[in-house]
Structures are given as C-alpha cells and as structure tokens.
Amino acid sequence: MNKIEKLYEGKAKIVYSTEDPELVVQFFKDDATAFDGVKKGQISGKGVANNLISCHLFDMLEKNGIATHFVKRLSDNEMLVRRVVIIPIELVVRNVAAGSLCKRYGIPEGEIFPEPIVERYYKNDAFHDPLMDDDHIIRFKLANAAELTFLKTTAMRINQILQDFFNSIGITLVDFKLEFGHYKDRLLLADEISPDTCRFWEKGTQRKLDKDRFRFDLGDVESAYVEMLKRITGSSS
C-alpha cells in the first residue's frame, strides 16, 4: 500500500492517503509535546514503539470484539487503518488518580477509584481541550445520545480488557485516552493506544513507564518506551 498525499500532520503522527480511498497510512513520529504544546522535544524510538504497541493492542481488542480502524502493520512506524471521520471528543478512562484530575479536584496522586471514571473532553487545540459533560456534547451536536452511550459503554469494555492484560504483565493501567471515528455506518476505535496516550505504572514500585517521564523530566524516557514495548509485545522491535 503506497502513500500518496499527506492529509494531516499532528503532534505525534502523520496521515497519508493511499490508492484506496477508504484506507490511509498512519505514520508515527518521534516528536513529543507536553502541557498543551508548551514543552517540545524528541524521544528516540518513540514512533516505532508507539506504532508496534498500538498494532498489538488494536489486534488484541479486535479479537475481543472491539471494532477498530486498524487493518495491519506496514512497517516499524506505519500502520494501515480505515479512513474514519474523527468525533471531536476525547474520552479519558481513569482507574487511579493522576495528572489533571488531581490538580482540578485536589485528589492525591495514586488514589484508586472503586469504579472507573470516564471523562469527556472537547478535542480542540484552540480551546485547550476543555472538559465537557453529556449535555454539552449533545447540544453542540458532537454526538447524539445513542452514540454517546455507545462511546462510554465501549470505553468501559476496553478498560476491562486492557486492565486484565496489563495486570498480567505487572503494569497498572492508571488512565488512558480514546478517540473514535465514523466509518460508513459504524463507529470505530481510532488513533492509538501507547505510552503517549496512557499512564502505565509498574506494580509494586509505582515506576512510571509512559510520557510522564518526558513531561516531568524524570529521565530514562527512551528506556521506558522500550520496556513497555517488550512487556506488551514480547519483543523490542
């Protein structure tokens, strides 16, 4: 499958058209940003790690009944995906208190929630991705009530599948971001699932193995991505 034209370039990925109008190539970059783009840098090998991890996790979710945009891996940093129209809502599933939630509500980092929290954010860089409630989403026609129910229900199903998997490899799935898109008459999980979009803590030590190492200058950033790649896929490449 050949790349024809660059359709979109974001902070971490580039999307290219192909000879098939229903399929696009998603290329993962080493570029890294944090704090709404204020902090920028590069993480060597991040693109490869995020692509291979996402390919593995999308494939696992597909086998567990979750419809995704994933078609196949093309190379170390490219995957072939269905061309979806992204819904401008980011769903964040939180199992443990961390990040912006702690700042907003004064909850100590590490507090475990008895039930997951599913937050919704407006996917819009110009407005800094504000938190939304269901009424906003429906009134602004970002999704209808049935679609919103599907998104939240599917997010919870994904959370259970991923939690079971990560528990088996000694990782706490603290929280993670999901995006969905329209494809024909279906809603598909899209974007990526990686250390860029998830918080991973090693069980026992609570060692962070995700982009927080870049955000907060914790060091060993590249090795954290490589370690998660090895744990998830069983291989470093």
Secondary element (H or E) of residue 96: strand 89-96
* pLDDT surpassing 70 at residue 105: yes
Question: Per residue in 7-65, pLDDT tens?
Answer: 999 999 999 999 999 999 999 999 999 887 788 999 999 999 999 999 999 999 999 99
Question: Per residue in 175-211, pLDDT tens?
Answer: 999 999 999 999 999 999 999 999 999 999 999 999 9
Secondary element (H or E) of residue 28: strand 23-28
| Structure token digits, residue 42 | 């590069």
By the 8 A CB rule, do 194 and 201 touch? no
By the 8 A CB rule, do 216 and 186 touch? no
Say what percent of the chain tops pLDDT 70.
99
Q: How many helices (H) and strands (E) does the chain have?
A: 6, 14
d(C-alpha 97, C-alpha 19), whole Å: 44
| Structure token digits, residue 41 | 């840098």
Is the dihedral angle over the CA atoms 214, 215, 219, 220 positive or is it negative? negative
Pairing of strands 23-28, 171-183: unpaired
pLDDT reported for residue 168: 98
Question: What is the set of domains in the chain, with CATH numbers?
Answer: 6-82 (3.30.200.20), 87-220 (3.30.470.20)
pLDDT reported for residue 237: 65
| Radius of gyration in angstroms for the set of CA atoms belonging to the chain, rounded to a whole number | 17
Pairing of strands 70-75, 78-82: antiparallel
> 């939240």: which residue's tokens?
152
Helix residue ranges per DSSP H, the chain: 46-63, 100-105, 134-139, 145-168, 212-215, 221-233
The 8-class DSSP code of residue 179 comes to: E
pLDDT reported for residue 1: 79
* pLDDT surpassing 80 at residue 80: yes
Q: What angle do helix axes 46-63 and 221-233 make, rounded to 10 degrees? A: 30
pLDDT reported for residue 37: 73
